[in-house]
Amino acid sequence: MVTPEEFINALTYPLFSMWQVILENFLGIVAAALVVIVGYLVGTALGWLLSKLIEHSKVDQHIERVHLHDALGFIKFYDLLGILLKWYVVSLFISAAVTLIPSPSLAFMIEQFAFWLPSFLAGILIFALGLIFAEFVHRHFLLAKSKSLRLLGEGVRIALVIVVGLIALEQMQVEIQLASNIVLIIVGGVALAGALAVGIGGGLALKDEAHLWLKNLHKK
C-alpha cells in the first residue's frame, strides 16, 4: 500500500530534480539565453531585410501579376521567406549556445531541437512552393474551354497539394509511411477518373466531327 510520504515524494521529486538542474546550470542557462536573444534580434533584422528586398524586386512583381500570392492565403511569399530566414538564424545561435550549458542531458535536448528546426523550416518552404506551383497549374487549366478539363485542373491541384504536403512532412521527419500509401491510392484514383472524364468529354465533343469525317470517307 502506498503511504502518504511515498505519494508526496513521487510528486515533489521531479520538481526538486528540475530545480537542482537549474541551480547547477544557472549561469550557463543565462549565458545561453543571452546568445539566443542576440540570435533572435539578428535573425529578425536579416529576415526583415530579405523580405523587403524581395518585395521590391521583379520576382515579387511577377508573382503578384499572375496572382500566385493567393496560393499562400494570409501571408505573402516574401514575408514567409523573411520569417524562415529569421528562425534559421535563430537555430544557428541555439546550436552555438548549447556549448554554454554544463548539463549534458539538457544540452543534448536543446541540440536536438536546434538540429531539427532547419528541417522543419525546409518543410514549410517546400509546402509553400508546392502550393504556388499547384495554383500555377490550376490557373492554366482554368483557361481551357472544356468543363472536364477545368474539373481535372481542380483535381490536379488537390493532388499536388496532398503530395507536396506529404513531402514536407517527411522533410520535417514526421512518420507518414501509411498515409503515403493511402494518398498514392487516392491520387491514382483521381488521375484515372480525370483521364476518363477528359476522354469521355473529348469523345462526345468530337462525335459530330468524327461522323462527318466517316461520311466523307464513305463517299470517296
pLDDT digits (tens, 9 = 90+) for 66-87: 666 667 777 778 888 899 999 9
**pTM for the predicted model, two decimal places:** 0.67
CA dihedral (99, 100, 104, 107) in degrees, to 10, reads -70
123-157 per-position pLDDT tens digit: 999 988 888 888 877 777 776 666 666 677 777 78
pLDDT of residue 203 exceeding 90, the answer is no
The pLDDT of residue 202 is 47
List, as own/partner pairs, every contact residues 156-163 make where C-beta atoms lie below 8 angstroms and the sequence separation is at least 24, other chains included: 156/194, 158/190, 159/187, 159/190, 159/191, 160/130, 160/133, 160/134, 161/130, 161/131, 161/134, 162/186, 162/187, 163/130, 163/187
What does each C-alpha distance from 92 to 34, 40, 74, 102, 155 come to in angstroms? 14, 10, 28, 19, 40
Q: Residue 192: is its pLDDT beyond 60?
A: no
84, three cell numbers:
524562415
CA–CA dist 168, 12 (Å, integer): 41
Average pLDDT over residues 103-122: 87
Give the Cα-Cα-Cα angle 137, 127, 125 (nearest 5 degrees): 120
Q: Provide CB contacts within 8 A for 154, sequence distance 6+.
A: 138, 141
121 phi, psi to nearest 5 deg: -65, -40
Whose cell is 525546409? That residue is 122
Task: Cell numbers for 76, please give them.
Answer: 505573402
Q: Among the residues of 68-146, which ranges form H helices?
A: 77-97, 104-142
End-to-end, the C-alpha distance of the chain in Å comes to: 103
**What are the backbone angles phi and psi of residue 175, rounded to the nearest 5°?**
-75, 115
Q: What is the pLDDT of residue 92?
A: 93
What CA–CA distance (Å, rounded) separates 150 from 117?
39
Q: How far apart are CA 179 and CA 160, in angstroms?
A: 15
Which of 168, 47, 50, 180 has the alpha carbon at shortest distance from 119? 168
